[in-house]
Amino acid sequence: MQQNNSVTEFILLGLTQDPLRQKMVFLFFLILYVGTVVGNLLIIVTIKFSQTLGSPMYFFLFYLSFADVCFSTSTAPRLIVDALSAKSIITYNECMTQVFALHLFGCMEVFVLIFMAVDRYVAICKPLHYTTIMSRQVCIILVILAWIGSFIHSMAQIVLALRLPFCGPHVIDHYCCDLQPLLKLACMDTYVINLLFVSNSGAICSSSFLFLIISYAVILHSLRNHSAEGRKKALSTCSSHIIVVVLSFGPCAFMYTRPPTTFSMDKIVAVFYTIGIPFFNPLIYTLRNAEVKNAMKKLWIIKITSEFKG
């Protein structure tokens, strides 16, 4: 429907219009984005080449880190570049691509977090059947289903976005393209499309969050039958997952489960969700996980030793 629009590009207002604050935004988010990429790639490389991190939990953590890098990359580079631009222009096609990427990798994160919760449930509540239920083949099938589900969700968002006619103004009061900011610019009654948007993204977010909360509640309840050492180890692992779930789904629920109203904190919440969470995830999973830290140390020792011998 682009040919029916008089608007072929949009202007992103970003986080601020103040020149000094724009420079601060550039520096801060550049550091944040580099940290996100380095941290998540370090986890990806460690899991890929470590012989001790072959369990399903780390299999899913591999894909969570991959989704984090891609999710952050869908918004952070443009935010960083636009902070130094006098006028931040994004074409219609680039805007639609960003909407697709944002929801594809965001939805992928949601599914992977669900699989990680299922993995912990089986490991703690069904330990005798763990290797059978969470086999390598099952994990691969789950990841494939996650990609398919994420693709379907993203296509649904694009279909809704492409149905929006734009005839001006073309200024988006945001730092990225998403369906909610675009709804405000559409030259039509967007009640039905917004309802579909909330029932899609909002339903995925709220139902996934409810499932995860119930899952971890069952897991924590079942720990009362374990030994003190077993409880301590399980709590250490589950606590990292719970922190990530709360940090991820709080902003997600705020953004995608409400009517099309604007709040002053919208941009801050969106930044924390799209850029902050991918930065914190590797910190949470490495600082609170002795196995990952030990695997990283071994890999670095092997790398340094091999280079020294060479």
- Report whether pLDDT(2) > 60: no
Q: Which residue has the higher pLDDT, 249 or 305?
A: 249
**8 A C-beta contact, residue 63 and residue 112:** yes
Q: Using only C-alpha atoms, what is the Rg of the chain?
A: 21
Q: What is the pLDDT of residues 199-249, one digit of tens each?
A: 888 888 888 888 988 888 888 888 777 777 777 777 777 788 888 888 888
CA 266 – CA 261 distance, rounded (Å): 10
| CA distances, 237 to each of 1, 113, 120, 213 (Å) | 48, 13, 9, 15
DSSP states along 222-250 = HGGGS-HHHHHHHHHHHHHHHHHHHHHHH
Q: What is the dihedral of CA 59, 62, 66, 67, to 10 degrees?
A: 60
Residue 135 φ then ψ, to 5°: -70, 165
Q: What is the pLDDT of residues 140-169, one digit of tens each?
A: 999 999 999 999 999 999 998 988 888 877
CA 219 – CA 191 distance, rounded (Å): 40
Q: Which residue has the higher pLDDT, 142 or 51?
A: 142
Please give the model's pTM, rounded to 2 decimal places: 0.89
Residue 25 CB-half CA count within 13 A: 24
Architecture label for domain 2-309: Up-down Bundle (1.20)
Q: Residue 307: which pLDDT band, with cuts at 50, 70 and 90?
A: low
Domain ranges of the chain: 2-309
